[in-house]
Structure 1
Amino acid sequence: MSASSVLLLTTMLLCRDYGVTGLELLELRVPAHVPLGTRAQLSCRWQLGPTDVLYSVKWYKDGKEFFRHVPRESEPRRKFPLPGVDVEDSSYNGANVTLATAVLETGGRYRCEVSGERPLFPTVSDHADMIIVALPEHGPTITGSRLRYQIGDRVQVNCTSGKSRPATRLAWYVNGEPAPTAALLPPTHRVFDDGLEVTSASLDFKVKPKHFRKGDLKLKCLATIATVYWRSNEESVQGERLKGYSRSRELAEGTSRADRVQAGKSAAHGVCRIPTNLALCFIILYALEKTHT
């Protein structure tokens, strides 16, 4: 055994005895969702052991290499053609790469592989998935609502998203609170030839007094796609029951029109008991009858 081999073996044994580890992959960052037409940044962070020397950093998508960094080669950084993947920029050691504007083919599983030098060539790797998101061109649309509702009326409304990929998730809210499960109908999805989808979700419930306790009835549809898209649409409808409540309060606070007419009749009969006011009596009674009718 040569002197260099003995030195290497001794160093490895000492590192093991003192708990020193070898090459280690510390972190891999691949954005889970990337909007169509934007640039994704990938990052791979590692730590070399005391006896390790970096040999290469390689990037793969769906098992196919698209970029490598080999410090000892005459051309340290190289790109390999792959549909949907093109490295626009990279750091000096290949740890960070920036991809060109994303297309649908850019999505997939990305892997970073880091290797040390001979004689052991230690290698570590990790992977993560990327989904390319085609955002809707407009927010969710609410249809089927009316301007006014009465207690007991049935609310039947629908919310439809714009075209997207993956499918947009829709959620209904009533007066700022999540709609009860019993009022929700299962969402439907329509897939187009270009791979984009439209989602529809319906809300169906009967109006109750509680829906108008804070004023108008507010219906909101929220559309989301992971953490990259968040749009909502809200409609506010009036309730007829507020007018009914006003009439009830008015009747409670004062006398009704019929009560006033009846009181007037009683007073007129009292006047008619006096013979000298007989003509005036008939005039008053006639006027009250006209008012009543």
Structure 2
Amino acid sequence: MLSLKLLELRVPSHVKLGSQPELACHWELGPQDLLYSIKWYKDGQEFFRHVPRDLEPHRKYYLPGVAVNKSDELASHITLYPATLETAGRYRCEVSGERPLFPTVSEHANMIVVVLPEDGPVISGFNPYYRIGDQLRVNCSSVRSRPAVRLTWYVNGEPAPFTAITSPKVYKDPEGYETTSLALSFQINEQHFVNGGFKIKCLATLASVYWKSNEESARELKTVSQMRIEEKSYNPMKTIELEPNDSNNSRFRLQDIILTLLICVILPKIIFYN
């Protein structure tokens, strides 16, 4: 029964182009075990090893896109040089115990090197004013990434309904970079307007390494009939209701207030001059 155990392998699933990936391999030896070697592989090819009893305990092997920059004494933690597109692949850590059995355990994990867009997502086709009943048709695009980013639409802070979203389109150029676009289309109704306006937002994400958004706002454009209705409903001479009075609980119209002022201010002057 083997007592050597590989407890954990940490390989970042996504790394930015030009960043320095950090890998870790944790193991546990049994009471009678001694470490013979720890070896690192990419796509089945060895690129780094540590053999404690060798005259040269640490040894590197050339592999395109993979080169060890730093390592701890046991090679359980390694840092690679800045990632290139060739750095992507399947990484494996293999730990072996000493003779006579040479027990061996290993684990693997994949790494993807991502190229992030230079700019955030771009919204096109949006207008600053809309009427109730208008058809909103806009497009969001994110240019030159690898792999393609994921686009998500929001309306007034809530995810847009699936019925308003078309399938995303992805275009791949000869260099392998991808441009993604996602359209949003729906008929605007009165529920969309909050305090006279509404907002849409496009969010672009790529795994856990990229998260950028773009937001646009629009105001409601009133129709002629709506403005006429509002004009009719506005009357500057309408009844002004005052707080109920404990003695008479009366209501005064604006005309009554003006008349009272005339009596109190102008009438005494007329009497005085006569």
Question: What TM-score does the superposition give when structure 1 sets the normalisation length?
Answer: 0.78
2:108 counterpart SS class: strand
| Distance in 2 (alpha carbons) for counterparts of 1:115 and 1:26 | 14
1:125 partnered with 2:106: yes
- Aligned AA (1:179): A
Aligned to 2:83: 102
1:227 partnered with 2:214: no
Quote the offset at 1:214 in angstroms: 3.5
1:42 partnered with 2:23: yes
| Distance in 1 (alpha carbons) for counterparts of 2:4 and 2:195 | 63
Aligned to 1:136: 117
Q: How many residues align?
A: 237
For the pair shown, the structure with the greater C-alpha radius of gyration is 1
Single out whichever of 104-113 and 214-223 deviates more from structure 2.
214-223
Aligned to 1:81: 62
**CA RMSD between the two structures:** 1.8
Quote the offset at 1:243 in angstroms: 8.5
- Aligned AA (1:83): P
Quote the offset at 1:60 in angstroms: 0.3
1:120 counterpart SS class: coil
Q: Could you say which structure has the higher helix fraction? A: 1
| Distance in 2 (alpha carbons) for counterparts of 1:46 and 1:28 | 9
1:75 counterpart SS class: coil
Q: Deviations over 1:41-76 (max 9, x none)?
A: 000000000110000000000111000000000000
Runs (5+) with no aligned partner, structure 2: 238-274
Quote the offset at 1:250 in angstroms: 4.1
Question: What TM-score does the superposition give when structure 2 sets the normalisation length?
Answer: 0.83
Quote the offset at 1:248 in angstroms: 3.4
Quote the offset at 1:244 in angstroms: 6.5
- Aligned AA (1:213): V
Aligned CA distance change for structure 1 residues 29 and 242 (closer, same or farther; 3 Å): farther
Amino-acid identity (%): 56
Q: Could you say which structure has the higher strand fraction? A: 2
Quote the offset at 1:238 in angstroms: 1.2
| Distance in 1 (alpha carbons) for counterparts of 2:224 and 2:70 | 66
Q: Deviations over 1:138-183 (max 9, x none)?
A: 0000101112110111100000102101101000111111001000
1:28 partnered with 2:9: yes
Quote the offset at 1:27 in angstroms: 0.6
Match of 1:62 among 35, 43, 46: 43
Aligned to 1:210: 191
Runs (5+) with no aligned partner, structure 1: 1-15, 257-293
- Aligned AA (2:9): L
2:122–2:214 Cα contact (<8 Å) kept: yes
Q: After the TM superposition, which parts of structure 1 deviate over 4 Å for at least 4 consecutive aligned residues?
A: 242-247
2:137–2:183 Cα contact (<8 Å) kept: yes
2:83–2:113 Cα contact (<8 Å) kept: yes
Quote the offset at 1:219 in angstroms: 1.1
- Aligned AA (1:74): L
Aligned to 2:92: 111
Match of 2:176 among 176, 187, 195: 195
Quote the offset at 1:247 in angstroms: 5.0
- Aligned AA (1:113): E
Quote the offset at 1:251 in angstroms: 2.0
Match of 2:165 among 184, 187, 202: 184
